[in-house]
Amino acid sequence: MDQSIGFGLHLPIIRFNGEADHSREQILSFAKKAEYLDYDYLGVNDHIVFRTTSWLDALTTLSSVAANTNKIKVGTSILNIVARNPVVCAKALTGIDILSSGRLFAGVGPGSYKGDYDVCGIAFEERWKRFDEALQILNLLWEQEKTKEVDYNGRYYKFKKVVVAPGPFQKPHPPILIGSWGSDIGLRRVAKYGDGWTASAYNITPDKFKAKWKTLLSYRKDMAKDTTRFGNSVVSMFGYIDNNKEKIRKIIRDVLSPVLGRPAEELETLLLFGSIDECIKKIKAFLEAGVNSIHFWPINDYIEQIEIFSKEIIYSFR
């Protein structure tokens, strides 16, 4: 196969209704197994609150995983740098990059859940304008010279003579991967401020991805920005691999559909639900559309599912 694709996993930091509580052993055993199976990435998603789910804190979890792994890349997919504050996020992400010896990727976005904003006292309607400023700040702080004082005078964020030290382990900084569902203004934002694009699996198809990726690269060229090292990923690729159609449909209908607020039939089509052959076919479609990496998110039987995915699916692409 001429093209290649990377594979990542989402750490199981969500607990759907009726599941057992979070535990250190469960998270770290998943992370160590992912590294043993030679996955390329481990990511965490971020919500302060989210409907009726139990959601382990993203940055705390990522710090623990970074300290207990050695080679797998770790990162956010995505982190809400608006609700959490961009300066605080720059500081926290820098710490993880240093403590992981430069294995961090920083997937960022403004999120799409109003509840996160309500509990943080920030107007949901302001999120996109705040996100533009937050991206400017993240780049500014990470590109500053060591111990240099930085000023920023935006509409929502203002500070003078700020020094955020130390700087990241990676130089000039960890890759900033910007989340977007693919709107034109969103793709222009990714092109302007990002080192890559993070697309949501349940909001895009291979055909749409191909068209939007072409558009995004054209925006990068128009802005005289590099395209050769500019990458992409499809994240939140929920799934469950099994030949039993009824079992899969029950999982989607009873577990995933109520949480995402999406029709079960749509999720079954878009995501990695089905037999091994069906899932390979779906991944090949994304590969042919230009996807660089896919981050799988099993919604049950976590260790068993990532073993199946590694041995039966990843193997067919390498």
Question: Which residues in the chain show pLDDT less than 70?
Answer: 1-3, 17-19
pLDDT attached to residue 145: 75
pLDDT (tens digit, 9 = 90+) per residue, 207-247? 999 999 999 999 999 999 999 999 999 999 999 999 999 99
Which residues in 95-120 are b (16+ Cβ under 10 Å) and which e? Answer: bbbbebeebbbbbbbbbeeeebbeee
**Other beta carbons within 10 Å of 247:** 12
pLDDT (tens digit, 9 = 90+) per residue, 50-63? 887 888 999 999 99
Share of the chain above pLDDT 90, in %: 89
Distance (Å, whole) CA 225 – CA 127: 26
HSE-up (13 A, CA, CB side) for residue 135: 23
| DSSP helix/strand/coil, 32 | helix
Please report the sign of the dihedral spanned by the C-alpha atoms of residue 46, residue 47, residue 51, residue 54.
Answer: positive
Inter-residue contact 53 to 15 (CB < 8 Å): yes
